[in-house]
Structure 1
Amino acid sequence: MRISRKKRPEKPQIRFKYNEGIRTPRLKIVDDEGNFLGEMDTRDALRMAEEQGKDLIEIVPKGDLHIAKITDYGRFRYQKEKEIKRQKAQQKKIEVKGIRLSSRIGRHDIDLRIRQALKFLEDGDKVKVELMLKGREKGHPDIGREVLNNFVKETGDKTPIKIEQPVSRQGWKFFVIIAPGQNNFQNNQEKAEEQKEDVQGL
């Protein structure tokens, strides 16, 4: 019996020549802070990097003289991978996911739907929550509106959200669209950490 395995996400491919892998005989050199140190022979730059316990990385392999940076290769690679992941996240296509409720939905099913909504929101997608009134329920349309409002409130208590489309009615169907909100405190904390880690300049 064949067992299917979930494909792991591919790690960003980072390719920079560094240390003895650099073939250019002469380089423009910048330090860890992005300060220009001047032009020098590659072997002299390698010696300088070694004395500082760092690596020499060719970061701009273009022009008459390529540009290289004296820094820690592991940290440099980590920062580049993080930049690529951030760019991919920004390019992600936002989808509208659907969740259906009923006016008689039980507590267990409500909790399950909320967890589904949280997962969709965490992935950056919008969520359209629908509820269709049936039979005698049509005589009490306020029930549908109440169930959706409670669902939105409980979801918002667990994660920041914004309401893209308030509870609306189409015939006997009610729906609401919610989207990921912005937790300013968390975002500011993340930005502060990123600024500490980011290598300045080139």
Structure 2
Amino acid sequence: MASKLIMNEAIKAAEVSLTGLDGEQLGVVSRQEALDLAKQLKADLVCDSLMSSPPPCRLVSRGAAKREKDQAGKEARQKDGQIKVKEIRLSASIEEHDYETKRRQAEKLLESGHGVLLVVRIQGKEGPAAKTLLEGLANDLKASGTRKTGVQLSGKQAALELLPK
């Protein structure tokens, strides 16, 4: 997994080897000078490695560093092939608003690289309704995920597993 991102005031070195927003080398400057420049350019100061002295740091547009780290983490998880599967429980007689909430929740999980196990608890003769509900939800989530399994009806529940695209 990606290591912790060291940014701005969390960088404790007295001097840093600074790279600008466009990748240009700005040389070795004091930590305070680098922080002032970052503030002036509305950017973040990000440390790439603490293993060298002075540590190499770069200016990155505000918020881009976190997105970059999140993306790298997502790619690393996908390469590992160890996708965490999160369970979302529904009922066969779900209201439209609740359905939309669960759909958005599943979409968010799929987009962040997690698998989703949709589970519908069945009581009495709700089997066909549960199957229809899961088919519809899988259809609505086509853009974010692909089916790992078909709808599985077993005793008291119906389940469907989706993997991120």
TM-score normalised according to structure 1 size:
0.48
User: Could you say which residue in structure 2 is the equivalent of 1:191?
Assistant: none
Alignment of 1:149 onto 2:135: yes
Matching of residue 162 in structure 1 with residue 146 in structure 2: yes
CA RMSD of aligned residues (A): 4.0
Question: Are 1:55 and 1:73, in contact at CA under 8 Å, matched by a contact in 2?
Answer: no
Does the 8 Å contact 2:122/2:130 carry over to 1? yes
- Contact kept, 8 Å, 1:164 with 1:179, in 2: the verdict is yes
Alignment of 1:81-100 (within 5 A): 85-92=70-77, 94-100=83-89
Structure 2 SS opposite 1:74: strand
Aligned length in residues: 128
Helix, strand or coil at the partner of 2:113: coil
SS of match in other structure, 1:128? strand
More strand, by proportion: 2
Question: CA 1:11–1:129 in 2, change beyond 3 Å: closer, same or farther?
Answer: same
Cα distance in structure 2, aligned partners of 1:73 and 1:113? 40
Aligned structure 1 segments of 4 or more residues deviating by more than 4 angstroms: 13-16, 59-62, 78-86
Identity of aligned residues (%): 21
1:113-153 residue CA offsets vs partner (Å, 9 max, x unmatched): 11111121122111101112212x25xx3222111101111
Give the AA of the match of 1:12: I
TM-score by length of 2: 0.57
Distance, in Å, in 1 between the alignment partners of 2:133 and 2:88 is 13
Spell out the pairing of 1:66-77 with structure 2 (5 A cutoff): 73-74=58-59
Q: Which amino acid aligns with 2:101?
A: L
The answer on 1:133 being equivalent to 2:122 is yes
